[in-house]
Chain A
Amino acid sequence: MDKEGPTALERFINGVLPENPIYRQLLGMCPTLAVTNAMKPAVTMAAATAFVLICSNIMVSLIRRLLKPHLRILVFTLTIATFVTIADRFLAAYVYDMSKQLGPYVPLIIVNCLIISRAEICASKQGLAVATADGIGMSLGFGLGLASIATVRELLGSGTWFGIHVLPAGWPNWGIMALPPGAFVTLGLLLAVVEWGTRRRAATGIWRTVRMLWSWRHSPASSSSS
């Protein structure tokens, strides 16, 4: 891999905020809308997706030299399907009620556009360290996105957070938040808020910290070999 390719740290930072899979790349929409009616299923789904994404990134970057171009997608799908089955069986064994609540959405991680696109863009081209860092970064970003949507929907929907009553008892529960329309509208508005936030890029402090990290990576003193 050529040296000046993306370093592990850069892929990690990129995955979390600048190229957040949900808010910036708009990938993996199906689970995002489906499981975020409460925090517990959202966190479980994020953990399952993290496991599958990291393992498949590692596996793909290990066998990337053997891949034939026209069988590429088939190999990715097989690898991802295996890790999803392992995750699904693990959930059914140790966290049974959560697995029942998530229902068909755990196997649907196989066709989650995020994982296949990471395998295609990053894992099948980069070394092991970069692919793993990218996997961790992306799954952290995905988890962040899921958690933010689930927080809004659960707070408004049933006044609880992780099942603990947070809002005062007088709060009228918005039943719609647990239903499909609530999911669509919440995600739409959150996308708008993030879009508006990134538009005012220079002002907000968060971008200064990320840029500082970015410039630190460029300076020769600190360029650790990836």
Chain B
Amino acid sequence: MSLALVALALAASVLAILAVAMGYVLGWANRKFHVAVDPHVELLQAALPGANCGGCGYIGCSEYAAALAEGNTTVGLCAPGGGSCAQKLADILGVEVQESCPYRAVVHCSAHTHQRLQRAGYEGERTCVSANLVAGVQGCTYGCLGLGDCARACQYAAARIVDGLSTIDYDRCVGCGACSRTCPRNIITLVPFKAERMMVVACSNQDTAADVRAVCEVGCIGCKACVRVAPELISMDGALPAINYDHYNPEEAEALESVLEKCPRKRYLFVGKPTPEDLAAVEHEELPEAVTADFKTTVDDTEWRG
């Protein structure tokens, strides 16, 4: 037979045999090495938003789904998913949703640039993590640097730098905790929001009164007035008061109001969704019309992976 014919037949048959062999081996391996994946996990993962934001304390949605399947975590931890997602998870697992309040980010500093004293002219890299390495960049060694690491880290554009201070937009914040992880000074914590607006300690300076007054016009001087007013709610953590949110009861407003008047530096703030009065205050300002990107390519928003 001619060389061409035999070559053709041999080539085709070698490839076909290889395909069959590999198909068989892979099929066998697929069955043999089949990892017993709990069917629930896929269903749970489908119900989760899949943002892998870490708000539930697990590395990603798949981790949270696996933990849910094993049943050693509660249903409502998914901050971005919110109530609807919690309900879906509960249906899959057949448990009822216990009421768990959403966690939101809170910045424990409220001094704007003009209120911070002894600020050095910092010309380095415009990121908090770099500025934090420089010793005398700012009088207060605890407070917010205002260079926007948290704003960059937030997937939901909830954290913004307003006049040098990181402020959280509670309409957008889902409590994923990305900002609290990136802040080099660790002054952003996640607080369980039992009500629309919660009272928080808006300072994290642990120094004595004299040092605080030297570096900040509004910092908490640790005078313990608040602890005397509401001992079971507030306790001193070093030189700084800390609210115990388990005992925090949003209904009994008068106790909270009394703490507010007693505090000489007014460092107890109510943070949360804007109240009707706030909205009325900004009624007359017209909003900048949203500029839509004129020429978008699929490449622009893909995270570059080389």
Please list the residues of chain A having a beta carbon within 8 angstroms of any beta carbon in chain B: 14, 18-19, 24-26, 29, 201, 207, 210-211, 214
Contact = CB atoms under 8 A, between A and B. Distances in A.
Interface in B275-306: 294-295, 297-299, 304, 306
For the complex, would chain B's binding face be called helix, strand, loop or mixed by DSSP majority? loop
A25 B301 CA distance: 11
Contacts of B295: 18, 201, 207, 210-211, 214
Nearest to B306: A26
Contacts of B298: 14, 19
A18 B297 contact: yes
Interface of B: 294-295, 297-299, 304, 306
A210 to B, nearest CB: 8
Contacts of A201: 295
A54 to B, nearest CB: 21
A28 to B, nearest CB: 12
Given A24-B297, A201-B295, 10 more contacts: A14-B297, A14-B298, A18-B295, A18-B297, A18-B299, A19-B297, A19-B299, A25-B299, A26-B304, A26-B306
B86 to A, nearest CB: 31
Nearest to A121: B298
B213 to A, nearest CB: 46
A201 B293 CA distance: 12
B77 to A, nearest CB: 31
A24 B297 CA distance: 10
Contacts of A207: 295
B117 to A, nearest CB: 38
A201 B304 CA distance: 20
A201 B297 CA distance: 13
Nearest to A24: B299
12 contacts: A14-B297, A14-B298, A18-B299, A19-B297, A19-B299, A24-B297, A24-B299, A26-B306, A201-B295, A211-B294, A211-B295, A214-B295
B196 to A, nearest CB: 41
B292 to A, nearest CB: 14
Among the interface residues A18, A201, A210, which one has the most CB atoms of the partner chain B within 10 A? A18
A214 B297 CA distance: 12
Contacts of A19: 297-299
Nearest to A25: B299
Nearest to A214: B295
Nearest to B23: A71
A18 B171 CA distance: 35
